[in-house]
Structure 1
Amino acid sequence: MIKKILKKTFNFFGYSLHKKKKHVKQSKPILDNVFSMESALVRCVKRGLEINTVIDVGASDGRWSNMCMNIFPKASYILVEAQPEHEEGLLEFKNENPNIDYILAAAGKKNGTIYFDNTELFSGLATEKKLDENCIEVPMISLDSEIKKRNLDGPYLLKLDTHGFEIPILEGAKELIKKAELIIIETYNYKLTDDSLKYYEMCSYMEGLGFSSIEMVDFMRRKYDDSFWQMDTFFIPSSSKEFTYNSYS
Structure 2
Amino acid sequence: MLTAPLHLAGRLHRYIYRRLYGDPNSYLELCSGVIHVGANAGQERDLYARHKLKVVWIEAIPEQFEALRQNIRSLPEQRAINALIADTDGKSYTFHVSNNDGLSSSILDLRGHKDIWPDVHYVRDITINSSTLKTALEMWRIDPGQYNALVLDTQGSELLVLRGAEELLGQFKFIKAEAADFESYRNCATVDQLCSYLKSFGFRVNREDRFAKRASGGAYFDILFERV
**Matched residues, number:** 199
Structure 2 partner of 1:186? 178
Deviation at 1:216, TM superposition (A): 1.2
Structure 1 partner of 2:7? none
Select the residue among 191, 195, 214 that pairs with 2:206. Answer: 214
Q: Distance in 1 between matches of 2:49 and 2:157?
A: 25
Secondary structure at the aligned position of 2:197 is classed as helix
Identity of aligned residues (%): 22
Secondary structure at the aligned position of 1:91 is classed as helix
Secondary structure at the aligned position of 1:175 is classed as coil
Q: Distance in 2 between matches of 1:186 and 1:34?
A: 19
Gap regions ≥5 residues in structure 2: 1-11, 110-121
The answer to whether residue 33 in structure 2 is matched with residue 53 in structure 1 is yes
Q: Give the structure with higher Rg (CA).
A: 1
Structure 2 partner of 1:20? none
| C-alpha spacing 1:171/1:36, structure 2 compared with 1 (3 Å) | farther
Secondary structure at the aligned position of 1:135 is classed as strand
Select the residue among 56, 69, 82 that pairs with 2:60. Answer: 82
The code of the aligned residue for 2:219 comes to W
Secondary structure at the aligned position of 1:174 is classed as coil
Q: Distance in 2 between matches of 1:235 and 1:92?
A: 31
**Deviation readout 1:124-153 (Å, 9 max, x if unpaired):** 11259xxx9722112422111233432242
| C-alpha spacing 1:36/1:90, structure 2 compared with 1 (3 Å) | farther
Select the residue among 52, 64, 70 that pairs with 1:92. Answer: 70
TM-score (norm 1): 0.70
- Matching of residues 162-181 of structure 1 within 5 Å: 162-181=154-173
TM-score (norm 2): 0.76
Gap regions ≥5 residues in structure 1: 1-28, 240-249
Q: Distance in 2 between matches of 1:88 and 1:37?
A: 36
| C-alpha spacing 1:38/1:141, structure 2 compared with 1 (3 Å) | farther
| C-alpha spacing 1:65/1:94, structure 2 compared with 1 (3 Å) | closer
Q: CA RMSD in A?
A: 2.8
Structure 2 partner of 1:200? 192
| C-alpha spacing 1:200/1:66, structure 2 compared with 1 (3 Å) | same
**Deviation readout 1:153-180 (Å, 9 max, x if unpaired):** 2452101111110111001111221100
**Deviation readout 1:46-91 (Å, 9 max, x if unpaired):** 6xx2x22311111110002332332x31x32111111122133211
The code of the aligned residue for 1:39 comes to D
Deviation at 1:186, TM superposition (A): 0.7
The answer to whether residue 128 in structure 2 is matched with residue 138 in structure 1 is yes
Runs of 4+ in 1 over 4 A off after TM superposition: 35-38
Structure 2 partner of 1:8? none
**Deviation readout 1:98-130 (Å, 9 max, x if unpaired):** 1111112211112224220113311011259xx
Deviation at 1:95, TM superposition (A): 1.1
Q: Distance in 2 between matches of 1:117 and 1:58?
A: 14
- Matching of residues 86-165 of structure 1 within 5 Å: 86-112=64-90, 113-120=92-99, 121-127=102-108, 134-148=124-138, 149-165=141-157
Secondary structure at the aligned position of 2:221 is classed as strand
| C-alpha spacing 1:177/1:122, structure 2 compared with 1 (3 Å) | same
